[in-house]
Amino acid sequence: MLTALEKAGILVEALPYIKKFYGKTVIIKYGGHAMINEQLKQAVLTDAVLMKFVGMHPVIVHGGGPEITGMLKRVGKVSEFVGGLRVTDRETMEIVEMVLVGKINKDIVALINRFGGRAVGLCGKDAGLFKAVKKPGTLRLPDGSTQEVDIGFVGDISRVNPQIVVNLIGEGYIPVIAPVAVGDGGESYNVNADYAAGKLAEALKADKFINLTDVEGILRDRNDLSSLISTLHVDEVPELIRQGIIDGGMIPKVECCIEAIKGGVPQAHILDGRVQHSILLEVFTDQGVGTMVVS
């Protein structure tokens, strides 16, 4: 049991970090385990509220997850996948959007508000935040060749208009954003949350981009936690991909870190969302958690 004095001492220890990030904008890509596990969820969102109160400007971009699959199941919809992307017909898109925007997004908003923050939930349609164009699907055929196929309402973000986010930050709100974008014809597109977060970080010229994942960070040897790469330079990445050290689902996560950095964000982080308060640890202590990508 800690005494009150010891607790006070720990608050004082955080002071240099509070100073360092005072007034800074931090984009948090929120997904994976940290969205499912109740305790982790509360930890992440409390962290965001705390960041706001000590003068930082957190912005949350969340992913989808099992709830989408659950809902699709409930309406008897079976999804096909092409190249890891869900083939998204109009009905599927409708379900995806309702779950992302009408359920997950507002649940996060309500929780933040319960923890004392003032959150506002947005999707890419609000004030034209995310514009998208249709993304082509690539089907790998048995003979090794590829064929372009229509995978429906899956989009690539073509334009970010961050004004509404800037306004909300300026008035003390925590924006919470669902990865749904809008096409020129007003149609909805499902967009990858990692890329959406990275693009937003770039458009906002954010000071930090944090990607909460379900891994410890990037390991040189997947079986050896001590091989964690603490700091990764953008130009080391191609070689690491070639060697297969960065592969699979980690590639898009690293790619959007790189894009954010090239767009002017000084630091991008791949953090382990399974560790409670990993954002706080990254921001408020010297404890190395996960991998930091820098230019």
Residues at the binding site for substrate are 64-65, 86, 190
Q: Which of residues 123-152 bind a second copy (CB under 8 A)?
A: 123, 125-128
Residue 45 binds a second copy (CB under 8 A): no
Q: Which of residues 67-106 bind a second copy (CB under 8 A)?
A: 71, 74-75, 94, 97-103, 105-106
CB 129 within 8 A of CB 61: no
* C-alpha pair distances (Å), 287 with each of 20, 35, 239, 266, 284: 15, 23, 27, 19, 9
Residue 225 binds a second copy (CB under 8 A): no
Query: What CA dihedral angle connects 42, 249, 241 and 291, to 10 degrees?
Result: 0
First to last CA, the chain: 43
Q: Which of residues 179-198 bind a second copy (CB under 8 A)?
A: 180, 182, 186, 188
Which is closer to a second copy, CB of 73 or CB of 205?
Answer: 73
Residue 284 binds a second copy (CB under 8 A): yes
CB 27 within 8 A of CB 206: yes
Q: Which of residues 246-265 bind a second copy (CB under 8 A)?
A: none
Residue 167 binds a second copy (CB under 8 A): yes
User: With CB under 8 A as the contact rule, which of the stretches 18-26, 33-41, 215-223, 265-273 interacts with a second copy?
Assistant: 18-26
Closest CA to 173 of 112, 125, 128, 114: 112
Which is closer to a second copy, CB of 164 or CB of 240?
Answer: 164
* C-alpha pair distances (Å), 254 with each of 194, 217, 232: 9, 10, 10
